[in-house]
Amino acid sequence: MTLHRRSFLAALAGAGGVGMAAAVRAAGVGPADALSQGPAGQAPALPMPPPLTAGSRLVAIAPGTWWEDPESEQTSLEARIASAGWELLVPPATRQRWHWFSGTDRQRCLAWEQAIGDQRAEGVLAVTAGWGSARLLESGWQPPPRPIWLMGFSDASALLLAQCAAGLGGAIHGGLHGDAGQWQRLVHLLRRQPVDPLQGQGWRSGITEGPLVVTNLTVATHLIGTAWLPDLRGRIVVFEDVGEAPYRVDRMLTQWRSARLLAGVAGIGLGRFQWTPDDVMPGDLSMEEVLRERFGDLGIPLVGRLPVGHGRPNLALPLGHRARLDGSAGTLTLL
């Protein structure tokens, strides 16, 4: 008989959980200690790079797994970049392979160093995801010497967060593909032009403002305790994820609450959370129930169902840019 992992853990908890709970109560730690009481103060927006103009150079890197179809993907991306009047440099390093990754950690880190060291480069595109970006952070990764655009999402969230934590703007959470509207929004952001507000669904009323932090939940959770997770106090945090069942999202968010990482956050926005339906057991909470329950008692504006993350549209958002979150109207607006 196969024993489900959660059933096994529940059996262990039954043996020793009572004593543990008593110890926690004796220490005076309770749910209220994990809750936010609203922003701790106004967090500053981050300095943004100059807008891209005709002839601006962008450099591709592959910080995670390798390109599955590099020829067609490169051709498609080059056409889009050219249509905006920019130049795309695709170094040979993007074609390297080492096991699952696009080259060894050191090779991928060197590709990053060369990209940000190119004095003509005004932006870096993370063209692959999967897994691997966080491995660069422990392999000698250094922040750009100047504000520079950095685009990607999913696994590349590790690099976006690290750049943000270093006090540099220019990291943009968003996909490089998608339809024309999705692409045009990214172009507008890179040109420092206005973009439309994102429409979601208001889950807890209130209006707040602060710089944005946008990330994949799993990636950010695995940066807890490192120097590469930004200070979230006074910021609007937008989470998304894919491939994680509701109970695993519940577990991650419980870690965030227990570590008091949500204390002082100005507001929460939630993009898409997608998972495999057969990874749900009878009695499980739905994904929306988990998100509402884990975020709903923080006392801050909460907006769900934003068009952000895996799936389409995956509308771009710049980390460090000041924004307004309206929990009544369900909108997220760049200021």
pTM (2 d.p.): 0.88
pLDDT, tens digit, for every residue of 79-136? 999 999 999 999 998 989 999 899 999 999 999 999 999 999 999 999 998 999 999 9
Positions marked catalytic: 154, 240, 310
Provide the 8-state DSSP code for 286: P
The span from the first CA to the last CA of the chain, in angstroms, equals 57
Average pLDDT, the chain: 89
H or E stretch at 322: strand 322-326
CA distances from 83 to 54, 80, 204, 260, 283 (A): 10, 5, 41, 45, 51
Query: What stretches of 128-193 show up as alpha helix (H) in DSSP?
Result: 133-137, 157-165, 180-190
Q: Which of 121, 105, 112, 134 is nearest to 215 (CA)?
A: 134
**Contact criterion met (CB below 8 Å) for 287 and 253:** no
Which tens digit of pLDDT belongs to each residue from 159-173? Answer: 999 999 999 999 999
Architecture of domain 57-190: 3-Layer(aba) Sandwich (3.40)
Distance CA 151, CA 175 (A): 8
Structure tokens at 253: 């968010």
Model pLDDT, residue 71: 77
The structural domains of the chain, with segments of one domain joined by +, span: 57-190, 196-334
Secondary structure of residue 154 in the 3-state scheme:
helix
Mean pLDDT of 14-33: 38
Q: What is the pLDDT of residues 212-266, one digit of tens each?
A: 999 999 999 999 999 999 999 999 999 999 999 999 999 999 999 999 999 999 9
Q: Determine the residue type at 323.
A: A
Tokens found for residue 243? 């491939």
Q: Which numeric CATH code is attached to 196-334?
A: 3.50.30.60
